[in-house]
């Protein structure tokens, strides 16, 4: 099962090959490799047909986070050329992610999710996070959203 995300990534990969953009091509190949690794793992678990767009989005989100952490570490270590390379990779990966919600949109999404599930206490946090992950996968950093939800419910 090829997905829309895979099609977009493969089209970008072909374009990068044609225009001889080595750095971009390298990052796109890393994305494809990560998706194929997940496909292989899914087959091992008895799933056929490849991973869904939602899984691809989570892979891309993880790749962005890893590169941001690496860039920070390189900057702290004074290795600015390596930090810059990581940041350039982030830019390529983010082309395939949905637009990130800003602070106000994130807070509004949290309020909506809390109202929908009727959350009144911290025990309802899992339900609220479930709604947010279902609706806003790839649009918000759930590591940052979790404490925001916790503050509202706590």
Is the Cα dihedral 31, 36, 41, 45 positive or negative?
A: positive
Residue 2, pLDDT score = 44
Spatial separation of the C-alpha atoms in residues 107 and 78, rounded to whole Å: 36
Domain residue spans in the chain?
4-94, 103-153
8 A C-beta contact, residue 127 and residue 119: yes
**57-99 per-position pLDDT tens digit:** 889 988 998 999 999 999 999 999 999 999 999 999 999 988 8
Angle between the N-to-C axes of helices 22-44 and 4-18, in degrees from 0 to 180, rounded to the nearest 10: 150
Q: What predicted TM-score, i.e. pTM, was given to this entire model? A: 0.73
4-94 belongs to which CATH class? mainly alpha
CATH for 103-153?
A: 1.10.10.410
**6-15 per-position pLDDT tens digit:** 999 999 999 9
Task: Tally Cβ neighbours within 10 Å of residue 49.
Answer: 11
């Amino acid at each position: 099962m090829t997905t829309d995300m895979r099609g977009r990534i493969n089209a970008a990969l072909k374009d990068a090959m044609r225009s001889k953009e080595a750095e971009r091509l390298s990052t796109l190949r890393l994305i494809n490799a990560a998706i194929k690794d997940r496909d292989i793992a899914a087959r091992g678990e008895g799933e056929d047909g490849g991973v869904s767009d939602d899984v691809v989005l989570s892979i891309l989100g993880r790749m962005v986070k890893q590169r941001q952490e690496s860039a920070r570490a390189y900057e702290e270590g004074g290795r600015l050329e390596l930090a810059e390379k990581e940041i350039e990779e982030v830019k390529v990966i983010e082309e395939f992610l949905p637009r990130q919600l800003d602070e106000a949109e994130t807070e509004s999404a949290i309020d909506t999710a809390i109202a929908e599930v009727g959350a009144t206490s911290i025990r309802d946090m899992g339900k609220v996070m479930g709604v947010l992950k279902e609706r806003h996968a790839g649009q918000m950093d759930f590591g940052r959203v979790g404490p925001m939800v916790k503050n509202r419910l706590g």
